[in-house]
Amino acid sequence: MSNPLADMDKPDVIFCIGTNMTECHPVAATGIKRALAKGAKLIVADPRHIVLADLADVYLPLRVGTDSALLLGMAHVIAREGLVDQAFMDARTTEGMAFLEHVQRFSPEWAEEITGVPAADIEQAALWYGQAERGAIYYTLGITEHICGVENVQGLCNLVLMTGNIGREGTGINPMRGQNNIQGAGDAGALPNNYPGFQPVTDPENQEKFEKLYGKKVDLENGITKVTALEMCGDQIRAMFIDGENTVVSDPERAHCEKALRSLDFLVVADLFLTETAELADVVFPVSAWGEVDGTQTNTERRIQRLRAAVPSPGVARPDWWVISALAKRMGFQGFEYEGAKEVFNELCEVTEIYHGVDWDKVEDGAFSWPIPFDGHPGTPMLHADVFENGRGIFNLVEQRDPAETVDDDYPVWLTTGRRLASYHTRTQTGRSAGIDYLLSEESLEIHPDDVDEWGLADGSWAIMSSRRGSVRVRVKATKRSPRGTVFTTFSFADVPVNALTGGGYDPITQTAELKVCPVSVVPE
């Protein structure tokens, strides 16, 4: 997020796109509800009539996978109505002229054709955002889990850059990170293209620095992503070590993924439970859970916070860092002598620019959001206040692109996937917490009541849903939260492995899977 969570009740116009925030980031959503109570306007764009849509002043029910078209239509209106912040564009951006010319082609009427959203509503949303004193954008995986995820984000950035809605309280472009520490994992360098602190591995200066630090010559090129690695299993990739991820259930194309892991010579998994993925392993390490370990985690506003142990681990389970370093030592690797999480974290701070100004003791109260470049620096709750990290903000001339697969006679229905309030991911944790079953005991497929009738189904009956890759059996739930022709479910329950169906394509740049769009057929059992 460019802006802190504490800002969320401060905008006068809020634009939520591809975020089911009341269910996925409930406490963040309370900020938005407070802003609304103070009179802020809410624009919600989502294929499904989610709870946020109930609260919206204008709701844009776009067809799945048409975000870019919607954003281009909005940019067109903002440009046409003269709502561009020219001073901001002159001072802080480049390619602005080209972009303003580019968007002339994309009228709201054009966008309506593609998105299905009435042009008048696109106009209204654009006017509000364009006129906002403090306009803030919030998004999550509804924007990124597409083959055009990068373009979608660039489309949002374009809106921000043309209106100057950044660098001030209550504004910004704010992706909400899904998992508790997905931010921290990236910060720490668990990426094929970055050393810790997002230092590119292809930069000779960084190479030299880490070669000296780690005493090892490191590849000069980027590594490969997990998606690519899974494709190469059994071929170039012969062994894997997976920490705390139920890859088989959470990743797209389950059959492919399972086959990939089975084709390895050797698989090591560290986890809390014997997950579907751990069951395939040759060696399984038991790790300590939340509540049993000391450590740090970094939230969606880049705030570094301390985790503390309250109870002992079961049996001989050990913290992840201990397991990894023990294995490294056993393999003869150098530099893995640590006494505790504190030492590990302090080393990360030493080698990482953005964490350089803190250490284990300084993050005790969670007072710092990175970057904290030096000791005494107050941290950076708000990014891009005066300058952009990488110089000037660049407009991108994005275009609308179809999803990897589109509906046809055989697969005439759009499936989109997501999460629900009372469960988390593959339910390895929420599914094992008492009482959660009362709120959510089984998976269901949300279908518009008229489609339920037309497709010969009934509320509560069983349906078979198939894509080009597989089929699942799932219970039907009639609800107007789904629009006609689009159905919704989650990948939370093992008995409805919906990721057996997904996986039609990946964003070519980030290799994020297109989990939000998958053509399917839905028929009575």
Partner 1 sequence: MSDNIDDGGNGALSTMTLDGEDVGFTPGETVYEVSERYRREIPTLCYDERLEPFGGCRLCIVEVEGSHNPVASCTTKAAQGMKVTTKSGRLEMHRRVLLELVASENRDLDVDPMSGYASGEMATLLDRYDARTGRFLGLRSGTSHPDDPNPFILRDYENCISCFRCVRVCAEQEGDYAISVMNRGFGTQITTEFDGILKDSACTFCGQCIQTCPTGALADLKALASKDVPGETKLTRTICPYCGVGCSVDLMTRGDQVVGVLPAMDGPANHGALCVKGQFAFDFIGHEDRLDTPLVRGDDGQLHPATWDDALDKAAEGLLAAVDNHGRHSLYVVASGRAPTEAAYMMQKFVRAGLGTNYIDNCSRA
Q: Which residues here bind ligand SF4, judged by CB under 6 A?
A: 25-27
Residue 227 binds which entry of partner 1, ligand SF4, none, with Cβ cut-offs from 5 to 8 Å by kind? partner 1
**Which residue's Cβ has the minimum distance to ligand SF4?**
27
- Least Å distance, CB 28 to ligand SF4, is 7
Taking the least distance from each CB to ligand SF4, the nearer of 26 and 378 is: 26
C-alpha to C-alpha distance for 391 and 300, rounded to whole angstroms: 23
DSSP at 278: G
Work out how close the CB of 26 gets to ligand SF4 at its nearest, in angstroms, rounded to a whole number. Answer: 5
Give the integer Cα–Cα distance in Å for 107 and 100.
12
Name the residue nearer to ligand SF4 (CB basis): 308 or 330.
308
User: Across-strand partners of 475?
Assistant: 462
Label residue 308 exposed, middle or buried (CB < 10 Å: 0-12, 13-18, 19+): exposed
At residue 428, what is the residue type? T
| Binding at 335: pick from partner 1, ligand SF4, none (beta carbon under 5-8 Å per type) | partner 1
Name which of ligand SF4, partner 1, none residue 295 binds, using a CB cut-off of 5 to 8 Å depending on partner kind: partner 1
Q: Give the 3-state secondary structure of 401-424.
A: CCCCCCCCCCCCEEEEEECCCCCC
Among 52, 227, 73, 33, residue whose Cα is nearest residue 139: 52
The pair of structure tokens assigned to 97 is 């002229």
Q: Find where tokens 């504490």 sit.
A: 6
Task: Name the residue nearer to ligand SF4 (CB basis): 66 or 300.
Answer: 300
Residue 167 interacting partner from partner 1, ligand SF4, none (CB closer than 5 to 8 Å by kind): none
Name the minimum Å distance from CB 516 to partner 1.
12
User: Rounded to the nearest whole angstrom, what is the least distance from the CB of residue 2 to ligand SF4 in the complex?
Assistant: 20
Kindly tell me which of 255 and 422 has the beta carbon lying closer to partner 1. 422
Q: Which is nearer to ligand SF4, 419 or 481 (CB)?
A: 419
CA dihedral 444→448→449→450, nearest 10 degrees, is -140
Q: Which does 324 bind (CB under 5 to 8 A by kind): ligand SF4, partner 1, none?
A: partner 1
Residue 309 binds which entry of partner 1, ligand SF4, none, CB below 5-8 Å type-dependent: partner 1
> How near is the Cβ of 299 to ligand SF4 at its closest, in Å?
8
CB nearer partner 1, residue 298 or residue 521? 298
Return the SS3 of 156. Answer: helix
Which residue, 6, 10, 3, is CA-closest to 39? 10
> Least Å distance between CB 475 and partner 1?
18
Question: Half-sphere exposure (CA, 13 Å, Cβ side) for 51?
Answer: 13
